[in-house]
Amino acid sequence: MSEFKTVGALTIEASTPLCLLQDAGRFGVRHLGVTQGGAADWVSMSWANKLLGNALDAAVIEITLGGLSLLAEQDCCLSLAGADLGAMLGERPLAPWRSFFIRKGERLTFSQPVLGARAYLAAPGGFDAPQVLGSCASVGREELGGLDGMGKALAKGDRLSYPGSSFLLHALQDRQIPDLEDNSPLDVVLGAQIGQFSGSSLFDAFNSEWTLDSRADRMGIRLLGPELVYQGQPMISEGIPLGAIQVPPDGQPIVLLNDRQTIGGYPRLGALTPLSLARLAQRLPGSTLRLKPVMQTVAHQRQMDYLRVLQTV
Amino acid sequence: MKLRIEVVAIDCLMVRLFDVIDEANMPWMLAASARLRECFGAHLVDLVPSYTTLMVHYDLLALSPSQARELIDLAFTDLAPDPQARGQQHVLPVWYDLSVGPELTLVSQRSGLAVSEVIRRHSEREYQVFALGFAPGFAFMGLVEEILASPRLNTPRKRVAAGSVGIAERQTAAYPVVSPGGWNLIGRTPSKLFDRLRDGYSLMQPGDSVRFAAVDHAEFVRLGGDDTPLGVQL
């Protein structure tokens, strides 16, 4: 990538289709049918960047479920946040929520989930990647973003450069670390077609345990539980916000994530808050969760409070 | 128009303008979009128009939910659409042929019209772009004549070639890139529908109007079209 001022680089030795360059995603282009993209767990992405003093939305590697191996070309300082995917730095285990030194020629590997689903690896100044429609977020289906600009996942032989250097080691304090084992209910801002579901379906939605289906990707996560019954008219397609909980005719809800389509015609209960969505993005198939209604104003205040924490620490 | 504002997410409000799909909605939709963009200014993250709705995604760092509602109210105050208002007008060349549009036969049989008549009628009308979605630059256009309306295929194709032109119910569209798809394919356009290097990226924008122009094979190829037959890739 000759257009970037490179200070250091990493070489990918092994990868999977779920290891992707991501940032906060694409904005201002939703009316053209372009999906949002971006880190599924934006909280962990933000902390990974924060640990190096980067902009919170600088380009990071999103590693889902493991399978990534890379080599450092120089001595440098990187940071890791989010899931524990059994990371090893050479022969030593590497815990997330910290920055760390990696020596020239040293290998960093991610094997499989120990806790959570998605880890975020950041480098000083953010990884270099072409901006496509204002973002490097990788969306294979739309052929946008990533190292090649065409949405490809990271692959063996790819070289990831970064423009900064950092030699300060930081670790989050315990109270700052998001609790990936927190099983408290996820917050739903009620809205959209919620008034047109049957009364018993509304009761079920917020008083049942939901199981994450294996049909889960960056477009959406399907939940299994009681059948929810929509009683309204067939819908005309409309815009779909991040975190929307849509209910197709089989009555099993789907929470829509970053790579969702921009418009759709299934009725919705509302949308998860961004903080709850970040928690959901760390859940593995088979785990269970509950949903809880939250007022838009309350959710808004909590979001502002959290962003303030991220910005002022 | 019966205006309703609904909460749909922490930082998104749905502005519902109409209850049915109608070309006559478009001047209102265009005027409302322009005014919303103006009123929200830099605090607008995204505005997602669809047939009867405008979803406003605003910057929650800058606006509270009630401030966002006030801005929507402001945008609709004395809103008067120009009945002549229209977006850009496009002519999309289409090579209507069985090798790239295998459902020409199906649409012909269903309607009782000769294939040539199906082509004539599909290319005769001017269509409105109601919304973009499904994929970057994929424009949902309508309405096609009732007689040409065709339900989606029972089994969507795993791979539809870029440029494929199709019909689903009373809508028509062209696929910008190779993708899965369940529309009835009747031809292919050589036009590049989405281009990251073009100003505005997408050839068609919500509110634009589009006419299809039948071209022969030689012209299709001359315009850069890929005439690889679709094959049976179900």
Q: Residue A232: count other Cβ atoms within 10 Å of its Cβ.
A: 10
CA distance B179 to A170: 45
Helix (H, G, I), strand (E, B) or coil at B154: coil
Nearest to A70 by CA among A158, A136, A5: A158
Candidate from A237, A243, A303 with C-beta closest to B133? A237
Query: What residue type is B101 in one-letter code?
Result: G
Which pLDDT belongs to residue A3?
55
**The pLDDT of residue A109:** 98
pLDDT score, position A160: 97
DSSP β-bridge partners for residue A109: A69, A88
- Measured in angstroms, the CA of A118 and the nearest CA of chain B are apart by 24
Of B10, B21, B60, the CB nearest to A271: B10
Write out residues in chain A with pLDDT < 50, as ranges: 1-2
CATH 3.40.920.10 fits A186-312, yes or no: no
Q: Do domains B4-76 and B89-222 have the same CATH topology?
A: no
The pTM (predicted TM-score) of the whole model is 0.94
What is the pLDDT, as a whole number, of residue A150?
96
* B101 contacts B188 by C-beta, under 8 angstroms: yes
Is A237 in contact with B12 (Cβ distance < 8 A)?
no
Per-residue confidence (pLDDT) for residue A253, from 0 to 100: 97
Looking at residue A1, what is its pLDDT?
A: 41
Using an 8 Å CB-CB cutoff, list residues of chain B that contact chain A.
Answer: 6-12, 14, 20-21, 45-55, 57, 60-61, 64-66, 131-138, 140, 177, 179, 194, 196, 200-202, 205-206
pLDDT at position B234 is 40
Domain ranges of chain B: 4-76, 89-222
- A242 close to B (CB below 8 A): yes
pLDDT at position A4 is: 65
Give the tens place of pLDDT for each residue, A184-203.
999 999 988 999 999 999 99
From the options 3.30.1360.40, 3.40.50.920, 3.40.50.720, 3.10.20.90, give the CATH code of B4-76.
3.30.1360.40
Mean pLDDT for each consecutive 10-residue tract of chain B (234 residues)?
93 97 92 96 98 97 97 95 84 97 96 97 96 96 96 91 96 94 96 94 95 98 95 51
- Is A32 in CB contact (< 8 Å) with chain B? yes
Domain with CATH 2.40.100.10 in chain A: 186-312
Which H helix or E strand runs over A307? Answer: helix A296-312
| A107-110 and A68-72 beta bridge pairing | antiparallel
Q: Which CATH architecture has domain B89-222?
A: Beta Barrel (2.40)
Q: Is A28 exposed, middle or buried (0-12, 13-18, 19+ CB in 10 A)?
A: middle
CA distance B120 to B143: 15
